[in-house]
């Protein structure tokens, strides 16, 4: 579950890592299959960067994530994008 002090990008990153590990793929294999660098996958999983929802959809497709788990992770991706977008307006 989500902690109020943890950004959604951290929760999204954890969900992506869990999905990758459930598929028994390493970071390099996933990066190769979705066409990004392993360091970018790591940054997403650690919550240092936030993937766009379209990138998340590609990752989930590559990993074969379906059903409610796919919907849950996509929801996190959309919410993290909105959170990031909202922070741009609240900072200025």
* pLDDT tens across the length of the chain (92 residues): 444 445 899 999 999 999 999 999 999 999 999 999 999 999 999 999 999 999 999 999 999 999 999 999 999 999 999 987 776 666 55
What is the secondary structure of 47-81 as a DSSP string? TSS---HHHHHHHHHHHT--HHHHHHHHHHHHHHH
Q: What is the pTM of this model?
A: 0.86
Q: How far apart are CA 17 and CA 32, in angstroms?
A: 16
Smallest CA-to-CA distance from 49 within 92, 2, 6, 12 is with 12
CB contact at 8 A, 46 and 90: no
CB contact at 8 A, 17 and 82: no
């Amino acid at each position: 579950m989500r902690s109020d002090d943890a950004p959604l990008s951290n929760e999204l990153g954890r969900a992506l890592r869990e999905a990758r590990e459930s598929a028994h793929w390493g970071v390099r294999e996933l990066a190769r299959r979705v066409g990004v660098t392993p360091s970018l996958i790591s940054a997403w999983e650690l919550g240092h960067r936030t993937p766009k929802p379209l990138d998340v959809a590609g990752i989930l497709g590559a990993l074969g994530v379906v059903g409610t788990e796919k919907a849950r992770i996509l929801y996190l991706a959309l919410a993290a994008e909105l959170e990031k977008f909202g922070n741009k307006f609240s900072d200025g």
